[in-house]
Structure 1
Amino acid sequence: MPSGKTHTKINLIGLPVIIAPLALLHPLHYEAIFVYAAGFLIGTYLLTPDLDTESDCYNNWGLFRFLWYPYQKFIPHRSILSHGLLIGDIIRILYLSIILFPLASFVNKQYGETTLLVWLEEHRDVLFVLILGVITASTFHIVLDKFYKPKRRKKR
Protein backbone atom coordinates (compact mmCIF):
# COMPACT_ATOMS: atom_id res chain seq x y z
CA MET A 1 0.00 0.00 0.00
CA PRO A 2 1.20 3.51 -0.71
CA SER A 3 2.31 5.77 2.11
CA GLY A 4 0.33 8.84 3.15
CA LYS A 5 2.93 11.02 1.46
CA THR A 6 2.47 9.09 -1.81
CA HIS A 7 -1.30 9.57 -1.58
CA THR A 8 -0.85 13.29 -1.02
CA LYS A 9 1.64 13.59 -3.90
CA ILE A 10 -0.66 11.78 -6.35
CA ASN A 11 -3.63 13.90 -5.30
CA LEU A 12 -1.66 17.13 -5.68
CA ILE A 13 -0.57 16.03 -9.16
CA GLY A 14 -4.12 15.01 -10.03
CA LEU A 15 -5.82 18.22 -8.91
CA PRO A 16 -4.51 20.44 -11.73
CA VAL A 17 -5.23 17.66 -14.22
CA ILE A 18 -8.89 17.88 -13.18
CA ILE A 19 -9.05 21.66 -12.67
CA ALA A 20 -7.41 22.73 -15.96
CA PRO A 21 -10.05 21.21 -18.25
CA LEU A 22 -12.83 22.49 -16.00
CA ALA A 23 -11.40 26.01 -16.17
CA LEU A 24 -11.10 25.77 -19.97
CA LEU A 25 -14.57 24.32 -20.47
CA HIS A 26 -16.30 26.60 -17.97
CA PRO A 27 -14.26 29.81 -17.80
CA LEU A 28 -17.01 31.75 -16.05
CA HIS A 29 -17.32 29.28 -13.19
CA TYR A 30 -14.13 30.05 -11.32
CA GLU A 31 -15.93 30.24 -7.98
CA ALA A 32 -17.30 26.71 -8.37
CA ILE A 33 -13.89 25.46 -9.51
CA PHE A 34 -12.28 27.09 -6.46
CA VAL A 35 -14.86 25.45 -4.15
CA TYR A 36 -14.28 22.09 -5.84
CA ALA A 37 -10.49 22.50 -5.40
CA ALA A 38 -11.01 23.42 -1.73
CA GLY A 39 -13.09 20.27 -1.25
CA PHE A 40 -10.42 18.22 -3.02
CA LEU A 41 -7.73 19.61 -0.68
CA ILE A 42 -9.94 18.97 2.35
CA GLY A 43 -10.37 15.42 1.09
CA THR A 44 -6.62 15.10 0.60
CA TYR A 45 -5.46 16.50 3.94
CA LEU A 46 -8.36 16.16 6.40
CA LEU A 47 -10.98 13.63 5.29
CA THR A 48 -9.07 10.75 3.72
CA PRO A 49 -10.08 7.11 4.06
CA ASP A 50 -7.04 6.66 6.33
CA LEU A 51 -8.70 8.48 9.22
CA ASP A 52 -9.33 4.97 10.53
CA THR A 53 -5.65 4.85 11.62
CA GLU A 54 -3.15 7.19 13.22
CA SER A 55 -2.17 8.49 9.80
CA ASP A 56 -0.80 11.78 8.47
CA CYS A 57 -4.40 12.85 7.88
CA TYR A 58 -5.34 12.04 11.48
CA ASN A 59 -2.34 14.07 12.69
CA ASN A 60 -3.29 16.98 10.40
CA TRP A 61 -6.24 17.58 12.73
CA GLY A 62 -3.73 18.69 15.41
CA LEU A 63 -5.43 19.36 18.74
CA PHE A 64 -8.76 18.32 17.24
CA ARG A 65 -7.68 14.83 16.23
CA PHE A 66 -9.43 13.52 19.34
CA LEU A 67 -12.67 14.05 17.38
CA TRP A 68 -11.70 11.07 15.22
CA TYR A 69 -10.88 8.67 18.06
CA PRO A 70 -14.41 7.14 18.20
CA TYR A 71 -14.38 6.80 14.41
CA GLN A 72 -11.11 4.86 14.60
CA LYS A 73 -12.53 2.54 17.26
CA PHE A 74 -15.71 1.68 15.34
CA ILE A 75 -14.55 1.70 11.72
CA PRO A 76 -12.29 -1.24 10.80
CA HIS A 77 -9.14 -0.30 8.89
CA ARG A 78 -9.50 -0.50 5.09
CA SER A 79 -13.04 -1.81 5.39
CA ILE A 80 -15.81 -0.82 2.99
CA LEU A 81 -16.91 1.65 5.69
CA SER A 82 -13.69 3.64 5.35
CA HIS A 83 -12.34 2.67 1.93
CA GLY A 84 -15.59 2.04 0.08
CA LEU A 85 -16.25 4.36 -2.85
CA LEU A 86 -18.84 6.93 -1.79
CA ILE A 87 -19.94 5.02 1.34
CA GLY A 88 -16.72 5.92 3.18
CA ASP A 89 -17.12 9.58 2.25
CA ILE A 90 -20.75 9.63 3.34
CA ILE A 91 -19.83 8.07 6.68
CA ARG A 92 -16.93 10.51 7.31
CA ILE A 93 -18.98 13.57 6.31
CA LEU A 94 -21.99 12.49 8.38
CA TYR A 95 -19.73 11.67 11.33
CA LEU A 96 -18.08 15.09 11.19
CA SER A 97 -21.46 16.80 10.72
CA ILE A 98 -22.90 15.08 13.77
CA ILE A 99 -19.85 16.03 15.84
CA LEU A 100 -19.87 19.68 14.69
CA PHE A 101 -23.64 20.26 14.56
CA PRO A 102 -23.99 21.29 18.25
CA LEU A 103 -21.15 23.81 17.90
CA ALA A 104 -22.51 25.14 14.60
CA SER A 105 -26.00 25.45 16.10
CA PHE A 106 -24.67 27.34 19.12
CA VAL A 107 -22.67 29.76 16.97
CA ASN A 108 -25.67 30.18 14.67
CA LYS A 109 -27.98 31.05 17.59
CA GLN A 110 -25.49 33.56 18.95
CA TYR A 111 -24.39 35.27 15.76
CA GLY A 112 -26.49 34.03 12.85
CA GLU A 113 -29.05 36.11 11.04
CA THR A 114 -30.80 33.00 9.74
CA THR A 115 -31.20 29.43 10.96
CA LEU A 116 -28.50 26.89 10.20
CA LEU A 117 -30.87 24.72 8.16
CA VAL A 118 -31.96 27.68 6.04
CA TRP A 119 -28.30 28.59 5.46
CA LEU A 120 -27.53 24.99 4.43
CA GLU A 121 -30.48 25.03 2.01
CA GLU A 122 -29.41 28.37 0.52
CA HIS A 123 -25.87 27.07 -0.03
CA ARG A 124 -26.66 23.51 -1.10
CA ASP A 125 -25.05 23.98 -4.53
CA VAL A 126 -21.78 25.16 -2.99
CA LEU A 127 -21.88 22.33 -0.44
CA PHE A 128 -22.52 19.81 -3.23
CA VAL A 129 -19.48 21.01 -5.19
CA LEU A 130 -17.34 21.03 -2.02
CA ILE A 131 -18.40 17.46 -1.19
CA LEU A 132 -17.78 16.41 -4.80
CA GLY A 133 -14.18 17.59 -4.37
CA VAL A 134 -13.83 15.57 -1.16
CA ILE A 135 -15.24 12.48 -2.88
CA THR A 136 -12.88 12.86 -5.85
CA ALA A 137 -9.84 13.09 -3.57
CA SER A 138 -10.81 9.94 -1.66
CA THR A 139 -11.54 8.16 -4.94
CA PHE A 140 -7.94 8.85 -5.99
CA HIS A 141 -6.85 7.44 -2.62
CA ILE A 142 -8.92 4.27 -2.93
CA VAL A 143 -7.95 3.61 -6.55
CA LEU A 144 -4.28 4.09 -5.68
CA ASP A 145 -4.65 1.62 -2.79
CA LYS A 146 -6.14 -0.95 -5.19
CA PHE A 147 -3.63 -0.65 -8.01
CA TYR A 148 -0.36 0.63 -6.51
CA LYS A 149 2.32 -2.01 -6.41
CA PRO A 150 5.54 -0.77 -4.84
CA LYS A 151 8.74 -1.78 -6.59
CA ARG A 152 10.53 -4.48 -4.69
CA ARG A 153 14.27 -4.32 -4.35
CA LYS A 154 16.11 -7.24 -5.83
CA LYS A 155 18.02 -9.38 -3.39
CA ARG A 156 21.71 -9.74 -4.12
Structure 2
Amino acid sequence: MEKKKYHQTWGNMTYNKLFYQVTLNVWQFARSSFPSLKQFPTNWSDMVKFLENYKPRIYYKKIIWMPPNSNTIKCNTDGAIKGNPGKSSHAYCLRDREENLIYAQAEEIPDTTNVEAEAVTIKETIYHCTRRGFSRVTIETDSLLLKNILQGN
Protein backbone atom coordinates (compact mmCIF):
# COMPACT_ATOMS: atom_id res chain seq x y z
CA MET A 1 0.00 0.00 0.00
CA GLU A 2 1.35 3.38 -0.99
CA LYS A 3 1.63 6.14 1.62
CA LYS A 4 -0.09 9.33 0.55
CA LYS A 5 1.48 12.65 1.39
CA TYR A 6 -0.90 15.07 3.04
CA HIS A 7 -1.07 18.16 0.88
CA GLN A 8 -4.12 20.35 1.17
CA THR A 9 -4.47 23.85 -0.19
CA TRP A 10 -6.85 26.67 0.72
CA GLY A 11 -6.93 28.96 -2.28
CA ASN A 12 -3.27 29.83 -2.85
CA MET A 13 -2.27 28.85 0.70
CA THR A 14 -0.75 25.53 1.60
CA TYR A 15 -1.13 23.81 4.96
CA ASN A 16 2.38 24.95 5.98
CA LYS A 17 1.66 28.58 5.12
CA LEU A 18 -1.67 28.44 6.96
CA PHE A 19 -0.03 26.83 10.00
CA TYR A 20 2.67 29.53 9.94
CA GLN A 21 0.05 32.31 9.72
CA VAL A 22 -1.97 30.92 12.64
CA THR A 23 1.18 30.55 14.74
CA LEU A 24 2.28 34.08 13.90
CA ASN A 25 -1.16 35.52 14.70
CA VAL A 26 -1.33 33.78 18.08
CA TRP A 27 2.19 34.98 18.90
CA GLN A 28 1.38 38.58 17.86
CA PHE A 29 -1.88 38.53 19.81
CA ALA A 30 -0.17 37.26 22.96
CA ARG A 31 2.68 39.79 22.70
CA SER A 32 0.37 42.77 22.09
CA SER A 33 -2.30 41.78 24.61
CA PHE A 34 0.10 40.74 27.37
CA PRO A 35 3.28 42.84 27.09
CA SER A 36 4.45 41.52 30.45
CA LEU A 37 5.05 38.11 28.83
CA LYS A 38 8.73 38.71 28.06
CA GLN A 39 9.69 35.22 26.92
CA PHE A 40 6.65 34.13 24.91
CA PRO A 41 7.70 31.20 22.67
CA THR A 42 7.57 31.36 18.88
CA ASN A 43 7.24 27.61 18.27
CA TRP A 44 3.63 26.31 18.17
CA SER A 45 4.07 23.34 20.53
CA ASP A 46 6.01 25.53 22.99
CA MET A 47 3.25 28.16 22.78
CA VAL A 48 0.61 25.57 23.61
CA LYS A 49 2.62 24.26 26.60
CA PHE A 50 3.32 27.80 27.79
CA LEU A 51 -0.37 28.80 27.62
CA GLU A 52 -1.53 25.57 29.30
CA ASN A 53 0.80 26.23 32.23
CA TYR A 54 0.40 30.01 32.36
CA LYS A 55 -0.97 31.37 35.62
CA PRO A 56 -1.41 35.14 35.47
CA ARG A 57 -0.62 37.21 38.50
CA ILE A 58 -3.77 38.75 39.85
CA TYR A 59 -3.47 42.06 41.59
CA TYR A 60 -6.23 43.41 43.73
CA LYS A 61 -6.84 46.20 46.14
CA LYS A 62 -9.39 45.93 48.89
CA ILE A 63 -11.74 48.91 48.87
CA ILE A 64 -13.84 49.62 51.92
CA TRP A 65 -16.65 52.15 51.84
CA MET A 66 -16.17 54.60 54.66
CA PRO A 67 -19.05 56.74 55.90
CA PRO A 68 -18.70 60.51 55.54
CA ASN A 69 -17.92 62.90 58.36
CA SER A 70 -20.86 64.13 60.41
CA ASN A 71 -23.16 66.61 58.65
CA THR A 72 -21.74 65.48 55.30
CA ILE A 73 -23.34 63.49 52.50
CA LYS A 74 -21.24 60.99 50.56
CA CYS A 75 -21.89 60.48 46.88
CA ASN A 76 -20.50 57.54 44.91
CA THR A 77 -20.53 57.99 41.15
CA ASP A 78 -19.92 55.87 38.08
CA GLY A 79 -20.20 56.39 34.35
CA ALA A 80 -20.33 53.43 32.00
CA ILE A 81 -20.05 52.93 28.27
CA LYS A 82 -20.21 50.08 25.79
CA GLY A 83 -17.46 50.86 23.30
CA ASN A 84 -15.43 54.05 23.40
CA PRO A 85 -17.30 56.11 22.33
CA GLY A 86 -20.52 54.20 22.60
CA LYS A 87 -23.80 53.61 24.37
CA SER A 88 -23.51 55.35 27.73
CA SER A 89 -25.12 55.64 31.14
CA HIS A 90 -24.38 57.12 34.51
CA ALA A 91 -25.35 56.42 38.10
CA TYR A 92 -24.81 57.90 41.52
CA CYS A 93 -26.07 57.44 45.05
CA LEU A 94 -26.07 59.62 48.16
CA ARG A 95 -25.65 58.23 51.68
CA ASP A 96 -25.52 59.82 55.09
CA ARG A 97 -23.25 59.15 58.08
CA GLU A 98 -25.40 56.18 59.16
CA GLU A 99 -25.08 54.69 55.64
CA ASN A 100 -28.75 55.34 54.87
CA LEU A 101 -29.51 55.74 51.19
CA ILE A 102 -30.79 59.26 50.61
CA TYR A 103 -31.07 59.21 46.84
CA ALA A 104 -29.96 57.14 43.87
CA GLN A 105 -30.23 57.75 40.15
CA ALA A 106 -29.17 55.89 37.02
CA GLU A 107 -30.01 56.72 33.43
CA GLU A 108 -28.89 56.42 29.86
CA ILE A 109 -27.09 59.40 28.39
CA PRO A 110 -26.19 60.16 24.76
CA ASP A 111 -23.36 58.11 23.25
CA THR A 112 -20.08 59.42 24.56
CA THR A 113 -16.57 58.45 25.75
CA ASN A 114 -15.66 56.95 29.11
CA VAL A 115 -14.23 60.24 30.45
CA GLU A 116 -17.29 62.20 29.34
CA ALA A 117 -19.63 59.66 30.97
CA GLU A 118 -17.75 59.98 34.26
CA ALA A 119 -17.77 63.80 33.99
CA VAL A 120 -21.51 63.91 33.25
CA THR A 121 -22.11 61.74 36.32
CA ILE A 122 -20.19 64.13 38.57
CA LYS A 123 -21.93 67.15 37.02
CA GLU A 124 -25.36 65.57 37.58
CA THR A 125 -24.39 64.72 41.16
CA ILE A 126 -23.35 68.29 41.90
CA TYR A 127 -26.49 69.64 40.23
CA HIS A 128 -28.72 67.31 42.28
CA CYS A 129 -26.96 68.12 45.57
CA THR A 130 -27.26 71.86 44.88
CA ARG A 131 -31.00 71.55 44.14
CA ARG A 132 -31.53 69.58 47.36
CA GLY A 133 -29.56 72.11 49.41
CA PHE A 134 -26.74 69.77 50.41
CA SER A 135 -23.77 72.05 51.02
CA ARG A 136 -21.35 69.50 52.49
CA VAL A 137 -20.85 66.70 49.99
CA THR A 138 -17.99 64.28 49.48
CA ILE A 139 -17.85 62.85 45.96
CA GLU A 140 -16.11 59.55 45.26
CA THR A 141 -15.40 58.49 41.69
CA ASP A 142 -13.55 55.53 40.19
CA SER A 143 -12.08 57.80 37.51
CA LEU A 144 -8.51 58.62 38.51
CA LEU A 145 -8.34 61.33 35.84
CA LEU A 146 -11.40 63.19 37.13
CA LYS A 147 -10.37 62.67 40.74
CA ASN A 148 -7.01 64.33 39.99
CA ILE A 149 -8.72 67.20 38.14
CA LEU A 150 -11.15 67.82 41.00
CA GLN A 151 -8.34 67.74 43.54
CA GLY A 152 -6.21 70.08 41.40
CA ASN A 153 -3.44 67.52 40.80
- TM norm. shorter chain > 0.5: no
TM (norm. structure 1) is 0.27
Question: Which structure's CA Rg is the greater one?
Answer: 2
TM (norm. structure 2) is 0.27
Which structure features the higher share of helix residues?
1
Greater RCO (Cα-Cα under 8 Å, separation 6 or more)? 1
